[in-house]
């Protein structure tokens, strides 16, 4: 009883028409994707921006353009990555709900779609697509680093409920989110991957205390949460008890695939959190160094990295979509993006010269290069480190022998851990 | 190479792959180092019958592409050339054939036909090209008078000049850059072989000393060859890149297999994390090399406005990262990887020589920055 | 820092190390980010009593070195500044003190004495320096007439200009580069604070608008400051490098310890081969940073002919490899390494800011190539 | 009864006076240290050059300047690394016996000195110092790669003799050497390090068959030897039976320390096998590119690497000599030299431009850049790979955990090996 799905080009035209008629064109210089390096927003500004985005999302929903890859029965459009890509091309240069895309639509919405019960999906996915629910991920922990499956946050069964205790870190949007997706340990007597369970829970409740983390550049985008006796009904469990790693694996896959996802709108050409090659051109202009052949060499390199990154993303995205290469190949895109972004930050800093050490507003585009350089490794850390990406590529894509993991076959409570996290 | 070829493209590619496997196995390639031309005429003629020289030529001239994108199709052949370290002047012959089909006059038709038939090959002088810093001796100059073109100067290195019947030369004239198709047996043309890091390709320094030709030898409008030269450069770079990517693919596959087979300290090399992570980088660079050159090929076929920057990004990236990739393959092999007996150097050579031809990575980064400079708007 | 200090040097270094540990522990350094000057006057005065500002000053002017090599001795102090991420204008004050002792006239003696006593600090404008490409606004210009010097122009960034009583300025005059010691309270001097990636150092843009001073304010011969400026640049670079190397040493030690303490997948990070090899690279670069800057310091002290190339090699190497080293420390720490709460960024800042000051690595590579060009003989 | 040793400065003066009076100054362009990238010598040329060097060495011996770090009782001078360094400074620009230094004086001579019996030392060291005996190392094996202790060449006791069988590779000077130092397996039933023994043996004998290895650039400097029933008397054993790894460790230490050795004369500023920064300057000159800022940037980088390498070698050499840092720190020097040499070959190739692909003699210094680039990894492979150096630095210098070595505690005959070397 499925309808034939809408042709990509007719969808593109429909999207284009609606976007041009309803969305505000961006001013030159206006950026939507928040990056660590941007001037810090106040909480009021953040809330106001978000309110506007909820409104925009509702408009998009009402126009029949929301949730391109989500099934129609949950309020989505039931279309494909190609349709999403067409939308991403059309949205370039227009205001759109940038903050809602990740982690709300994906990985959170995508995980709900993959593992949620019918009831959970009906309750949350339409609300997400209307801009009514904003979600956050409660995944990383202070003790864990890249070893996400070593979560120490515990969930203990209590009748029809679970009681959660522990701490999560590197979350974003804790002050603005409505719901969270949370990975917790439900069994300490089995190896780590087999004792995890995923829950969903409302964020604003007394048992959850939120601390902002100040980054070295003054940004306070990230938070740490302390969960104390947070009660979650079993009906808000996602997937099986102790089956959380199955969910978590998919969760992290969606995270890596953001740029090739049918769930997320990202204007073509965007690389959030990156120092773009175009802005490096402005650094060269504003320092009056465009004629220096060495500077031109660096500009050429930056732009080369950007073009290669875009074409690589397209190749891997299509290859995965067509089933020609494994989903694990997303790690290739992630690795390239991280390393090339760090290199671009270095190039900008080099071109800025002394303005990288000290600057005033007169320095134009050169003014933020020093702070960006200090933060440059975030592109190789956030969203899974480049080290983890290299592990995935060598072991999962190339099939090389797995690293020795002494925690693999022993009860999690007996696994050696960092001095600071030992019992 | 594209992850998904059409079934026509796949058959086309596979035919060449099988031909190369049987006609120029690695042992044969190795022995060609002492062959004066680097390839056998029969081999080239049979290859031409498989379509090696017809993809950039229009149907009315007896050519035609498989998919509608002639350069994209040609990259599948070039990829196999890299995979097999195959001999033969694929780049210059195709550049000249494509040029003659689009811009050549009636006088050039017999030459074009012989290139299509594989009965002769052509050389192409990469002239005073585009944004590089004019290193080396000044390129040739020409005068046009009384129905004659007079050509003087030196060009080096020129691939296959010693094997070609014709050389397509770019010369400076009063009105601007001008292209001329020069028969190599014309009086005043002398060809001095050069030493090379390649085994099967042959390069020469070509001197033109008062070479006189009828104006029918001109290709395109005299004084107006800038765009033509740019287009030729894009073709040459994309074909050469595709060869390099094929060579990289083979070097990578070979080295990965070695890592599984070779034991050190009681463990296979493949179990060492530091090597695993290097293979992860190699794989990432390799996929990126495929991706950017495929995009560049499509952009050139489509005459897309971003063709120039994509072509140069591909050249710069494959030149630098490809070199590091294949050198890391050598490193992982250890001493055996730099012996003549081992196959690895055949791929190393292809990547190395292609990096140095038609502009180094640094030259192409300058080209990219020129594109950026010409973009007026502030982003 | 040298692997072997003499016992006198060791006592000297250790005294400063202990002073910094007690006076500016890391918690104190972190809180100084909101301090207008970045350091307390008492702290600086006590440091001066430990010899921080006297090493480049001759004994007749109240200074003196420990080992006979004043700059080498000073690098041991600068190293401790880096190790402790310590505040204070060590580079400009020493550059000015050293200059005034060697080239200053009688009129400058009181200033020199206050620098030695630590009751004031000095700023130094790194002017239109040597082989760099003159980026930024043109430096100051001056005229000398009727017993007066008149100075106009802008210089930025200038370390500690807002905290200094005097600024040593290099200006272009008709006869050539000329240096002038300008009291910061002179009419026409305005000082605009700049934002910076540092926590405790303060930088400013300094504008000179018709500033008039008696000719006694001149330092050295007017029109003849090229060599003087070169010498000052060498001092500034070596001192800044030594700070950076101290910061690198601490960052490296801290990160190695982290690798031993932190477990991932049931194993300490230190057991992962890929990380082990990165630590091996880090250790190699770190030792190389020590080695080349120590050699540069000795060459400057000895007025050796290879001082210029060694100083620039040290700046270029420490700038590039040091940055990669400390950024890799961040990477190994993960997210916590870029939080304000963690100590690592204090060292990252020191290395980063020192890389950008007094010529970037690229600027210093140009300086090296000038040295090579001037070597006539073919090797 | 030891004399007070000669003061370094007076030694320097003595050396200088003799060198200037007796040795031929080099022509501009003349290089002595053979590198892989040099044009191949014919065997006759090689033999003639070697004969001249034996003659020079005898002159040096007669002048009381040979074997600076070897004890006087064996014909040496009984002096220190500082004296050797002074000699290395004085020899710059003069003809000297370059080919005799390594491996003859060190590691071979140095190993004899460390582990030889009194009789072995009296027989061989004076002969070595007079230029009468040239030595080669029989260490690496085709199966072994970096795992030198996994030698498969076997030595079986037969009365007062040993019978050696097996194959050695990457040897130099096989056609010109008189004696070889050889690592062989004498016990297969213990872990690999505990079943090795070192022997010395004359090279020219029927049981030793030599094959030249052709490198990709045509050089045939390296050989492979096949040993068939080579009989060695027990009196030519070096060190204890099954104690060969103790000898081997020291042997490789001497190899790493060549540039800071009291046994070896290397003119100051030489880096054998490397593309020197000075020759890169010539590439820039001969391609007319000295004025290109990008080329100048690369020249600056090459010279920087060279200066840093020199100062690093000095620091590590002095630190080891003074006992401030462990001998294992020599791996730091080795790593830096390998990596920076590869980088310099890349820089030269980049500057050469199209002359890197094809050249004639007209291209001057640019002419060899393509071949040098093809061979560039030899600087990171020969004399112990950079990978091994990184292992040594992390494990021995920094004390990080050792790699898992499944061969460590099991009889060598049971150790897993490459398919091609399995029984």
CATH assignment of the domain containing C23: 1.10.540.10
Query: And the tokens for A94?
Result: 């227009």
CA atoms within 13 A on the CB side of B251: 36
Q: What is the mean pLDDT of residues C159-185?
A: 95
Find chains touching chain B: ≥3 CB pairs under 8 Å: A, C, D
Provide the percentage of residues in chain C whose pLDDT is more than 90. Answer: 89
CATH (domain of D97)? 1.10.540.10
In terms of domains, do C92 and C166 share one?
Answer: no
In terms of domains, do A166 and A118 share one?
Answer: no
pLDDT for the residue A33? 44
pLDDT by residue (tens digit) across D89-103? Answer: 999 999 999 889 989
In terms of domains, do D365 and D391 share one?
Answer: yes
Nearest CA in chain A to D292: A293
Report the SS3 class of residue B124. Answer: strand
In terms of domains, do A369 and A335 share one?
Answer: yes
pLDDT by residue (tens digit) across B143-198? Answer: 999 999 999 999 999 999 999 999 999 999 988 999 999 999 999 999 999 999 99
In terms of domains, do B233 and B334 share one?
Answer: yes
Are C265 and A406 in contact (CB < 8 Å)?
yes
Give the span between the Cα atoms of D360 and D365, in whole angstroms: 10
CATH (domain of C130)? 2.40.110.10
Residue C1 lies in a domain: no
Residue C232 lies in a domain: yes
In terms of domains, do A381 and A334 share one?
Answer: yes
In terms of domains, do C114 and C235 share one?
Answer: no
Residue D199 lies in a domain: yes
Total domain count, chain A: 3
**Backbone φ and ψ of A357, nearest 5°:** -90, -45
CA atoms within 13 A on the CB side of C184: 22
Judge whether residue D1 has pLDDT over 50. no
Q: What is the mean pLDDT of residues A70-87?
A: 95
**CA torsion angle D412 D413 D415 D418 (round to 10):** 120
D142 vs D271, more confident: D142
In terms of domains, do C114 and C183 share one?
Answer: no
In terms of domains, do A178 and A123 share one?
Answer: no
pLDDT for the residue C135? 46
Q: Which residues of C touch B (CB under 8 A)?
A: 272-274, 276-277
Judge whether residue A127 has pLDDT over 70. yes
Give the span between the Cα atoms of B124 and B120, in whole angstroms: 14
CA distances from A160 to A122, A235, B142 (A): 21, 8, 92
In terms of domains, do C141 and C274 share one?
Answer: no
Q: 């063709």: which residue's tokens? A: B307
**Contact status of B273 with chain D (Cβ, < 8 Å):** no
| Lowest pLDDT segment from B22-36, D8-22, D249-263 | D249-263
Residue D421 lies in a domain: no
Judge whether residue C134 has pLDDT over 50. no
| Lowest pLDDT segment from A20-34, A221-235, C298-312 | A20-34
Judge whether residue C136 has pLDDT over 50. no
Q: How many CB pairs under 8 A join A and D?
A: 10
pLDDT for the residue B376? 63
Contact B235, B98 (CB under 8 A): yes
Residue A119 lies in a domain: yes
pLDDT for the residue D267? 87
Task: Enumerate the residues of chain C whose CB falls inside 8 A of the CB of residue B274.
Answer: 273-274, 276-277
Considering D86, D117, D133, which residue would you say is the last residue of a domain? D133
In terms of domains, do A235 and A290 share one?
Answer: no
For residue C189, the surrounding DSSP H or E stretch is strand C189-193
Considering B199, B219, B239, which residue would you say is the last residue of a domain? B219
Nearest CA in chain D to A404: D404
Residue B2 lies in a domain: no
Residue B102 lies in a domain: yes
Residue A161 lies in a domain: yes
pLDDT for the residue C374? 86
In terms of domains, do C242 and C117 share one?
Answer: no
Find chains touching chain D: ≥3 CB pairs under 8 Å: A, B, C
pLDDT by residue (tens digit) across D120-136? Answer: 999 999 999 999 999 99
Are C267 and A404 in contact (CB < 8 Å)?
yes
pLDDT for the residue D39? 45
pLDDT for the residue A219? 86
In terms of domains, do D283 and D188 share one?
Answer: no
Judge whether residue D27 has pLDDT over 60. yes
Are B345 and D294 in contact (CB < 8 Å)?
no
Q: Which domain holds residue C213?
A: 123-219
pLDDT for the residue A146? 79
Residue D300 lies in a domain: yes
In terms of domains, do C109 and C232 share one?
Answer: no
Which residue in C6, C252, C280, C377 has the most chain D C-beta atoms within 10 A of its own C-beta, making it the best mutation to test that interface? C280
In terms of domains, do B172 and B98 share one?
Answer: no
Give the span between the Cα atoms of D303 and D243, in whole angstroms: 44
Are D403 and B195 in contact (CB < 8 Å)?
no
Q: 């040493």: which residue's tokens? A: C249
Nearest alpha-carbon partner for B70 in B94, B49, B90: B94
pLDDT for the residue A37? 34
Burial of C185 (0-12, 13-18, 19+ CB in 10 A): exposed
In terms of domains, do B127 and B115 share one?
Answer: no
Residue C233 lies in a domain: yes
pLDDT for the residue B128? 56
pLDDT for the residue A405? 83
pLDDT for the residue A315? 95
Residue B1 lies in a domain: no
pLDDT for the residue B139? 83
- Given pLDDT bands bounded at 50, 70 and 90, which one contains residue A418? confident
In terms of domains, do A129 and A142 share one?
Answer: no
What sections of chain B are H helices per DSSP? Answer: 7-23, 26-31, 41-49, 70-83, 90-103, 109-117, 226-261, 273-301, 307-333, 344-356, 361-374
Q: Is the backbone of residue A392 left (phi > 0), alpha (psi -120 to 50) or beta?
A: alpha
B65 vs A145, more confident: B65
- Given pLDDT bands bounded at 50, 70 and 90, which one contains residue B263? very high
pLDDT for the residue D33? 44
Q: ipTM of this model? A: 0.93
Task: Enumerate the residues of chain B whose CB falls inside 8 A of the CB of residue D377.
Answer: 327, 330-331, 337-338
In terms of domains, do C202 and C294 share one?
Answer: no
Q: What is the mean pLDDT of residues C74-89?
A: 98
Considering C188, C204, C219, which residue would you say is the last residue of a domain? C219
Query: And the tokens for D365?
Result: 């210094």
Give the span between the Cα atoms of C252 and B157, in whole angstroms: 49
| Lowest pLDDT segment from A162-171, A414-423, B53-62, B120-129 | A414-423
CATH (domain of A224)? 2.40.110.10
In terms of domains, do A305 and A369 share one?
Answer: yes
Task: Enumerate the residues of chain B whose CB falls inside 8 A of the CB of residue A322.
Answer: 3-4
pLDDT by residue (tens digit) across A342-367? Answer: 999 999 999 999 999 999 988 899 99
Considering C121, C153, C169, which residue would you say is the last residue of a domain? C121
Residue D223 lies in a domain: yes
**Contact status of C257 with chain D (Cβ, < 8 Å):** no
In terms of domains, do C211 and C234 share one?
Answer: no
pLDDT for the residue D31? 57
Q: Which domain holds residue A386?
A: 269-397
Task: Enumerate the residues of chain A whose CB falls inside 8 A of the CB of residue C339.
Answer: 213-216
Provide the percentage of residues in chain D whose pLDDT is more than 70. Answer: 93
Residue A338 lies in a domain: yes
In terms of domains, do D155 and D64 share one?
Answer: no
In terms of domains, do A329 and A300 share one?
Answer: yes
What single string gives the DSSP state of each residue in D153-177?
-EEEEETTEEEEEEEEEEEE-TTT-
Query: And the tokens for A42?
Result: 């106040």
pLDDT for the residue D35? 36
**Contact status of A293 with chain D (Cβ, < 8 Å):** yes
pLDDT for the residue B136? 45
Q: How far is D345 from chain A (nearest CA, A)?
A: 20
In terms of domains, do B58 and B142 share one?
Answer: no
Are C288 and D282 in contact (CB < 8 Å)?
no
Judge whether residue D271 has pLDDT over 80. no
Total domain count, chain B: 3
Q: What is the mean pLDDT of residues C155-180?
A: 94
Average pLDDT of chain A is 90
pTM (two decimals): 0.92
Which residue in D169, D211, D339, D357 has the most chain B C-beta atoms within 10 A of its own C-beta, making it the best mutation to test that interface? D357
Q: What is the mean pLDDT of residues D246-273?
A: 83
Residue B215 lies in a domain: yes
CATH (domain of A370)? 1.20.140.10
Q: What is the mean pLDDT of residues C201-227?
A: 94
Residue D417 lies in a domain: no
Give the span between the Cα atoms of A144 and A196, in whole angstroms: 14
Judge whether residue C16 has pLDDT over 60. yes
pLDDT for the residue C128? 56
In terms of domains, do D244 and D157 share one?
Answer: yes
Judge whether residue B361 has pLDDT over 60. yes
**Contact status of B138 with chain D (Cβ, < 8 Å):** no
pLDDT for the residue A39? 45
Judge whether residue B98 has pLDDT over 80. yes
Task: Enumerate the residues of chain C whose CB falls inside 8 A of the CB of residue B272.
Answer: 273
Residue C379 lies in a domain: no
Contact D85, D261 (CB under 8 A): no
Contact C120, C45 (CB under 8 A): no
Q: How far is C186 from chain A (nearest CA, A)?
A: 24
């Amino acid at each position: 009883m499925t309808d034939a799905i809408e042709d990509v080009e007719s969808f593109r035209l429909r999207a284009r028409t609606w976007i041009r008629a309803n969305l505000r064109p961006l001013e030159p210089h206006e950026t939507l994707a928040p990056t660590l390096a941007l001037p810090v927003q106040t909480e009021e500004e953040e809330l106001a921006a978000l309110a506007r985005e909820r409104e925009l999302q509702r408009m998009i929903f009402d126009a029949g353009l929301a949730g391109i890859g989500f099934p129609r029965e949950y309020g989505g459009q039931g279309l494909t990555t190609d349709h999403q890509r067409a939308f991403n091309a059309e949205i370039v240069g227009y205001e759109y709900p940038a903050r809602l895309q990740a982690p709300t639509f994906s990985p959170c919405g995508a995980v709900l779609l993959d593992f949620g019960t019918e009831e959970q999906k009906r309750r949350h996915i339409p609300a997400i697509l209307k801009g009514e629910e904003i979600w956050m991920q409660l995944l990383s922990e202070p003790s864990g680093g890249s070893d996400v499956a070593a979560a120490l946050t515990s969930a203990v069964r209590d009748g029809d409920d679970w009681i959660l205790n522990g701490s999560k870190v590197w979350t974003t949007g804790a002050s603005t989110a409505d719901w969270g997706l949370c990975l917790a340990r439900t069994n300490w007597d089995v190896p780590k991957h087999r004792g995890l369970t995923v829950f969903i829970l409302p964020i604003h409740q007394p048992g959850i205390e939120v601390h902002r983390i100040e980054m070295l550049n003054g940004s306070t985008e990230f938070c740490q949460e302390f969960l104390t006796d947070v009660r979650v009904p079993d009906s808000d469990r996602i997937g099986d008890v102790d089956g959380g790693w199955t969910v978590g694996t998919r969760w992290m896959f969606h995270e890596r695939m953001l740029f090739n996802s049918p769930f997320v709108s990202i204007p073509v050409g965007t690389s959030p959190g990156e120092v773009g090659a175009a802005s490096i051109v402005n650094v060269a202009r504003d320092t009056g160094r465009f004629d220096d052949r060495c500077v031109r060499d660096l500009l050429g390199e930056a732009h080369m990295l950007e073009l290669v990154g875009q074409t690589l993303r397209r190749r891997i995205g299509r290859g995965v979509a067509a089933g020609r290469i494994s989903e694990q190949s997303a790690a290739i895109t992630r690795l390239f993006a991280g390393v090339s972004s760090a290199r671009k930050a270095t190039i900008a800093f080099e071109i800025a010269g002394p303005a990288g050490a000290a600057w005033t507003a007169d320095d134009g585009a050169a003014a933020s290069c020093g702070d960006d350089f200090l933060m440059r490794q975030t592109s190789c850390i956030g969203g899974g480190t480049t080290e983890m990406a290299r592990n995935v590529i060598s072991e999962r894509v190339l099939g090389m022998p797995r690293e020795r993991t002494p925690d693999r076959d022993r009860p999690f409570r007996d696994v050696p851990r960092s001095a600071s996290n030992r019992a | 190479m594209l992850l998904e070829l059409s079934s026509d493209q796949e058959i086309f590619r596979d035919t060449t792959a099988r031909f190369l496997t049987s006609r120029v196995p690695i042992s044969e390639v190795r022995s060609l180092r002492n062959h004066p031309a680097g390839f056998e005429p029969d081999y080239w003629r049979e290859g031409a019958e498989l379509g090696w020289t017809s993809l950039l030529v229009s149907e009315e001239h007896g050519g035609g592409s498989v998919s509608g994108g002639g350069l994209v199709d040609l990259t599948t052949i070039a990829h196999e050339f890299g995979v097999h370290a195959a001999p033969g002047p694929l780049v210059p012959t195709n550049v000249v054939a494509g040029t003659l089909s689009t811009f050549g006059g009636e006088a050039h038709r017999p030459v074009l036909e012989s290139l299509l038939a594989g009965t002769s090959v052509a050389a192409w002088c990469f002239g005073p090209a585009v944004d590089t810093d004019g290193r080396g001796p000044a390129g040739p100059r020409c005068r046009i008078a009384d129905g004659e073109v007079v050509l003087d100067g030196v060009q080096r290195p020129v691939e296959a000049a010693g094997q070609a019947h014709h050389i397509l030369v770019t010369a400076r004239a009063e009105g601007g850059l001008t292209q001329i198709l020069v028969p190599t047996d014309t009086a005043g043309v002398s060809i001095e072989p050069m030493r090379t890091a390649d085994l099967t390709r042959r390069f020469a320094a070509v001197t033109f000393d008062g070479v006189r030709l009828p104006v029918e030898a001109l290709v395109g409008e005299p004084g107006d060859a800038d765009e033509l030269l740019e287009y030729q450069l894009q073709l040459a770079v994309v074909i050469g890149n595709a060869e390099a990517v094929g060579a990289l693919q083979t070097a990578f596959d070979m080295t990965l297999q070695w890592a599984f087979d070779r034991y050190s300290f009681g463990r296979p090399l493949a179990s060492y994390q530091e090597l695993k992570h290097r293979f992860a980088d190699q794989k990432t660079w390799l996929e990126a090399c495929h991706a950017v050159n495929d995009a560049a090929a499509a952009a050139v076929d489509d005459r897309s406005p971003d063709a120039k920057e994509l072509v140069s990004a591909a050249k710069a990236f494959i030149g630098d990262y490809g070199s590091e990739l294949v050198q890391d393959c050598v490193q992982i092999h250890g001493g055996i990887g730099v012996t003549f007996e081992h196959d690895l150097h055949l791929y190393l050579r292809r990547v190395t020589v292609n990096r140095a031809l038609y502009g180094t990575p640094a030259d192409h980064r300058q080209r990219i920055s020129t594109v950026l400079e010409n973009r007026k708007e502030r982003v």
